[in-house]
Structure 1
Amino acid sequence: MIPFSRFPSFFRIVRGAERAGTPRGRRRAWLPALLLALVPVAARAEPPRLVLLDDDGFGLAQWMVIASPDVRVLGITSVSGDVWQKQATAQQLRGVEIAGRTDIPVVAGATYPLLNSEALTERWEALYGKLVWKGAWMKRWVEPTEQKLPPYHGPDVVPDLPEGNPTHKAADGIAAEFLVRTVRAHPGQVSIIATGPFTNLALAQRLDPEFASLAKELVYMGGSLNPRQRLPGTAAEQFAREFSNSPRREFNIRFDPEAASIVMRAPWRRIVMVPVDPSTQTELSPALLARLSAADTPVARALRGRPTGFPLWDEIAAAVWLDPSLIRRSHAAFVDTNTQFGPGYGDILSWTPGYEPGLGEQKEQVVEEVDVPRMEAMMQRLVARPASGAPSR
């Protein structure tokens, strides 16, 4: 039996209803209130948050979102970036297998950027200097680094994955159409977390000009404003070398600048930008990896032996979407991408509100700093959650 003391306003509702109308009408007025009051709070819980994940791979960030109990992942889309699209698709398929969530569709996306290419990037480097990271086009490090160089190969090669190769297949269709169809099926309800280049999102916006406006929000990891190294003497410090001379350059945006500009000018209801700036206070250190992989769950076991020394780029984007209170400092800015083929190609452009040129730029919440201890605690908690299977529809 549910004690009425749990519902202190119940009697006020009934008394108010009884004072109005005829006896029969009074009964009709207060009966729904009675039934609602008798329903346990848990039974009246909020519906799950709907989200799409768009990325150039799969890792801890995606596992965090999938493991969250109040979240329903509607799908995962792949795009070329750190690796080619086919390899990213394989990683995503294997990732949902490890999570016990093969009910989540994985949809293959764009293989090539809209205009940028490997040859064009090499030409740019000959004119303006070497890039620190080129993702799928990376052949060698310019200077020694502790991080291992991934094998260079073409777009149709899918190397064996360290965590094992997937046994199920990607869903039919292409990512851009899937994104449009899913957002249209749930207008105003679907968040999109993008942690790779924006090619899929740009194609979706060009296919359907209402795509962005029908989504609930876009949260993306990408761009750079003015990062400062917060963890000197660590392996993650090496990733900040580029920012000392090129503070506005970041790989996710630089890989497909034209797509980034299309997405940044699209009419989203809300945009949260997670640039590299807050990531310089984070690192997947051996100690953190040991804490994350200590649990006896498939995801925790899959993390064992993973390379360390990387900042928590994508994990920050996932974490601040799951819990916005992790954001310690942010500001509003209008943001766009430089698409002129010159020394600043792919760099971030930003303006304080009132200074923007007014050519379609959108106001974004730019994350500057996050609560790292709380974020790491969240990561550890979610990795330790046992697989719960598909959520109720």
Structure 2
Amino acid sequence: MLPRLKALFALVAAALLAQSAHAAPEKRKVIIDDDGFGLMQVMLLSSPEVEVLGLTTVSGNAWANRNTAQALRGLEWIGRSDVPVVPGATFPLLNSEVATERWEQQHGPLVFKGAFMKRWVEDTQQAPPPYHGPFDAVDLPGGNPTTHPADEIAANFLIRMVHKYPGQITIVACGPMTNLALAQRLDPAFAGLARELVYMGGSLNPRQVLDNRAAADFAREFVNNPRREFNIRFDPEAASIMARAPWRKITMVPVDPSTATQLSPALIARLAKAARPGVDRFVKALAPGFPLWDEIAAAVWLDPALVKTQRRLWIDFDSQQGAGYGDTLSWDQAYHPGMGEQAQDVVLAIDVPGLETMLTRLVGK
């Protein structure tokens, strides 16, 4: 009997090894921290390689309550209401609407102010932004969500998740950094427990690449202010806390690579044709003309081969209340001041056709 038992055990062991060899790889865990809901979320939610643990919302393009509602409705439209939406910070750490208006009186109007925006300074192709207060009732064009946000705040959710999955979670942040700063201040271990941070924000020296009116509109503010970008300018103190936190790895996607991209009518039509049911409704509602800011961040995380040019830089952001408030600060290794700023992989150019191909593939899954 003994030889037969040994043979049986050997067969079982071989079967288990074969099963393990062919087992599906573990999905990459991610939390999306953002001030809206767009193609970036659809990309990550559609990837078979990714497990989205939650969407955390923050004020930026609009107030947090509207962004939370948009995220809930977006998930409903694409059939992913299983993913929790966790409300985040309503106000920046120190910056405010009044402080921004006072700053503009001294230093000139900002091109875009997000939730603080009441009118465009110059004529533009985009419609005048609707103005809302931070606690106004939300009534979204096209209907409100029927689902509800999680009964938790974003900073606590972020902390809880990195402790539950230490070293496993990527945070993709494409809005102001308020939630991340709050989490870091509440728990100094927070950033170090994450696997990595990928964020869209900051600006080094972007230039107009595409030759059309929409591209010119978005590139014009960088001619005289190449270091200013909205996600950082909305909450510079939070951005500086984020940049100095001890992340294991940081990938920065500044404005620079986005000026070579555009959500053109032709691209929207291509995506709509490829989109699966539910996602097609979302795609058809997209406004054309915008650069693919957040989509670049998702794409280079999903496939780093899309990066054509990047630099290793030490990054911080100006939190002094002067003309450069919110501007991006950068140094090569030999020159950074050693005040806690961290080394970051800064994406400067990407494979644009590759990005568009990835978008088309993911909306169709």
Query: In the alignment, is residue 321 of structure 1 matched against residue 287 of structure 2?
Result: no
Q: 1:219 aligns with which of 188, 195, 198?
A: 198
Task: Show the 5 A alignment for 1:22-33.
Answer: none
Query: Displacement of 1:304 after TM fit?
Result: 0.9
The CA RMSD over aligned residues, in Å, is 1.9
Deviation at 1:95, TM superposition (A): 1.1
Query: Within 5 Å, which residues of 2 pair with 1:59-138?
Result: 59-138=38-117
Distance 2:357 2:224 in 1: 34
Tell me which structure has the larger Cα radius of gyration.
Answer: 1
Asked if 1:57 corresponds to 2:32, the answer is no
Contact 2:92 2:238 in 1 (8 A): yes
The Cα of 1:150 is off from its aligned counterpart by 1.8
Secondary structure at the residue paired with 1:367?
strand
Q: Shift of residue 221 of structure 1?
A: 0.2
Do the aligned residues in 2 keep the contact of 1:212 with 1:266 (CA within 8 Å)? Answer: yes
Q: Is the 8 A contact 2:256 2:349 kept in 1?
A: yes
Counterpart secondary structure, 1:293:
helix
**Pairing 1:254–2:233 present:** yes
* Unaligned segments of structure 1, at least 5 residues: 1-22, 386-393
* Contact 1:332 1:363 survives alignment (8 Å): yes
The superposition leaves residues 56-108 of structure 1 with CA deviations (integer Å, 9 ceiling, x where unpaired) of 11111001100111111001001000000000000010111112111111010
The corresponding residue for 2:175 is 196
Instruction: Tell me the CA shift for residue 29 of structure 1.
Output: 9.8
Match of 1:132, SS?
coil
Q: Which amino acid aligns with 1:207?
A: L
Specify whether residues 29 and 247 from structure 1 end up closer, same or farther in structure 2 by C-alpha distance, changes over 3 A only.
farther
- Normalised to the residue count of structure 1, the TM-score between the two structures is 0.89
Aligned residue identity for 1:354: A
- Verify: 1:298 aligned to 2:307, yes or no: no
C-alpha distance after superposition, 1:125-175 (max 9, x if no partner): 000111000000001111110011221110112443234310010000110
Counterparts of 1:179 and 1:149 in 2: how far apart (Å)?
34
Q: Which runs of 5+ in 2 are unaligned?
A: none
Q: Does residue 1:162 correspond to 2:129, yes or no?
A: no
Query: Would you say 1:350 and 2:330 are equivalent positions?
Result: yes
In 2: Cα distance, 1:268 partner to 1:88 partner: 26
Which stretch has the larger CA shift, 288-297 or 168-177? 288-297
Deviation of residue 381 (structure 1)?
Answer: 1.0
In 2, are the aligned partners of 1:51 and 1:193 still within 8 Å (CA)? yes
State, as a whole percentage, how many aligned pairs show the same letter: 61
Measured after TM superposition, the shift of residue 307 of structure 1 is: 1.3
Q: Give the deviation of 1:303 after TM superposition.
A: 1.7
Secondary structure of the 1:62 match is helix
2:359 is equivalent to residue 375 of structure 1 = no
Contact persistence 2:195–2:249 (CA under 8 A):
yes
Structure 2 distance, partners of 1:210, 1:24, is 54
| Residues 276 and 363 in structure 2, CA contact (< 8 A), matched pair in contact too | no
**Letter aligned with residue 368 of structure 1:** L
Please report how far the alpha carbon of residue 300 of structure 1 lies from its aligned counterpart in structure 2 after TM superposition. 1.7
Give the letter aligned to residue 212 of structure 1: A
1:202-249, Cα deviation, whole Å (9 max, x unpaired): 000000000000000000000000001110224132111110000000
What is the CA distance between 1:301 and its match in structure 2?
Answer: 1.8
In 1, Cα distance between the equivalents of 2:148 and 2:131?
24
Over residues 240-272 of structure 1, what are the superposed CA-to-partner deviations in whole Å (9 max), with x where a residue is unaligned? 111000000000000000000000000000000
Aligned equivalents of 1:108, 1:171: Cα separation in 2: 7
For 1:213 and 1:308, the matched residues in 2 are separated by 38
List structure 1 segments (4+ residues) > 3 angstroms apart after TM superposition: 23-33
Quote the Cα distance in structure 2 between the aligned partners of 1:24 and 1:340.
Answer: 78
2:345 matched residue in structure 1? 365
Q: Does the residue aligned with 2:76 lie in a helix, a strand or coil?
A: helix
For the 8 Å contact 1:163–1:302, the answer to whether it is kept is no
1:120 counterpart SS class: helix
Residue of structure 2 in register with 1:39 after alignment: 19
2:128 and 2:270 map into 1 onto residues whose CA distance is 26
1:243 to 214, 219, 222: 222
Do the aligned partners of residues 270 and 24 (structure 1) sit closer, same or farther apart at CA in structure 2, a change above 3 Å counting?
A: farther
CA distance in 1, matches of 2:300, 2:142: 27
Q: Structure 1 residue 31: deviation in Å?
A: 5.7
Q: 2:150 aligns with which of 167, 171, 174?
A: 171
CA contact (8 A) 2:74 2:282 kept: no
Q: Distance in 1 between matches of 2:77 and 2:159?
A: 27
Question: Are the counterparts in 1 of residues 178 and 235 from structure 2 also a CA contact under 8 Å?
Answer: yes
TM-score, scaled to structure 2: 0.95
Q: Structure 2 vs 1, CA of residues 264 and 28 (structure 1 numbering), >3 Å: closer, same or farther?
A: farther
Deviation of the 1:121 alpha carbon: 0.5
Alpha-carbon distance in 2 for matches of 1:313, 1:30: 54
Q: Which amino acid aligns with 1:374?
A: G
- Aligned AA for 1:85? A
The residue number in structure 2 matching 1:339 is 319
